[in-house]
Amino acid sequence: MRTLTVSLGERSYPIHIGPDLSDQGEILRSHLDSKQILVVTNATVAPLYLERVLRQLEGKQVATVILPDGEQYKTMESALAVFDALLEHKFNRNAHLIALGGGVVGDLTGFAAACYQRGVPFVQIPTTLLAQVDSSVGGKTAVNHPRGKNMIGAFHQPKCVIADLSTLDTLADRELSAGLAEVVKYGLIRDEPFFRWLEEHMEALLRRDPEALGYAIERSCHNKAEVVAADERETGERATLNLGHTFGHAIETGLGYGGILHGEAVAIGMCQSADLSRRLGWLAERDVERIVALLARARLPVRPPAELGVDAFLEHMAVDKKNLEGRLRLILLERIGKAHLPIPVDLAPLRATLDEYGRA
Angle, CA 24 vertex, CA 22 and CA 26 arms, to 5°: 125
Any contact of residue 34 with its own copies (CB under 8 A)? yes
Spatial distance between the Cα atoms of 267 and 269, rounded to a whole number of angstroms: 5
Secondary structure (3-state) at 3: strand
Catalytic residue among 16, 31, 96, 140: 140
By CB under 8 A, the residues from 173 to 202 that bind its own copies are: none
Any contact of residue 351 with its own copies (CB under 8 A)? no
Q: Which helix (H) or strand (E) holds 41?
A: strand 36-42
**Of 43, 87, 172, 343, which one interacts with its own copies (CB under 8 A)?**
87
149 is in an annotated binding site: yes
Spatial distance between the Cα atoms of 143 and 135, rounded to a whole number of angstroms: 13
β-pair type (2-6, 13-18): antiparallel
Closer residue to its own copies (CB): 151 or 255: 151
141 is in an annotated binding site: no
Residues 6+ apart with CB under 8 A from 197: 187, 215, 219
Q: Are 129 and 217 in contact (CB under 8 A)?
A: yes
Torsion of CA 235, 237, 242, 243, to 10 degrees: 140
Any contact of residue 312 with its own copies (CB under 8 A)? no
Residue 159 annotated to the active site? no
Spatial distance between the Cα atoms of 102 and 120, rounded to a whole number of angstroms: 20
107 is in an annotated binding site: yes
Any contact of residue 352 with its own copies (CB under 8 A)? no
Angle, CA 103 vertex, CA 99 and CA 109 arms, to 5°: 35
70 is in an annotated binding site: yes
36 is in an annotated binding site: no
DSSP secondary structure, 276-299, as one string:
HHHHTTSS-HHHHHHHHHHHHHTT
Closer residue to its own copies (CB): 24 or 34: 34
Q: How far is the CB of 318 from its own copies (least distance, A)?
A: 6
Catalytic residue among 16, 31, 238, 316: 238
Stretch that binds its own copies, among 41-49, 63-71, 99-107, 319-327 (CB under 8 A): 319-327
Cα separations in angstroms, 54 against 62, 85, 90, 348: 8, 17, 19, 55
Residue 38, beta-bridge partner list: 63, 97
**Of 119, 236, 309, 344, which one interacts with its own copies (CB under 8 A)?**
119
The closest of 282, 268, 298 to 337, measured between CA atoms, is 282
**Of 54, 62, 151, 206, which one interacts with its own copies (CB under 8 A)?**
151
Q: How far is the CB of 157 from its own copies (least distance, A)?
A: 13
Spatial distance between the Cα atoms of 155 and 174, rounded to a whole number of angstroms: 29
Stretch that binds its own copies, among 108-116, 129-137, 206-214, 301-309 (CB under 8 A): 108-116
Q: Are 95 and 86 in contact (CB under 8 A)?
A: yes
Closer residue to its own copies (CB): 156 or 279: 156
Closer residue to its own copies (CB): 9 or 281: 9
Residue 249 annotated to the active site? yes
With CB under 8 A as the rule, give the number of residues binding its own copies.
39
Q: For its own copies, what does the binding mask look like between residues 128 and 147, x meaning CB under 8 A?
A: ------------xxx--x-x
Binding residues for Zn(2+): 182, 245, 262
Binding residues: 69-74, 103-107, 127-128, 140, 149, 167-170, 182, 245, 262
Q: Tell me which residues touch its own copies (CB under 8 A).
A: 34-36, 76, 80, 83-84, 87-88, 90, 92-94, 114-119, 140-142, 145, 147-148, 150-155, 318-319, 321-326
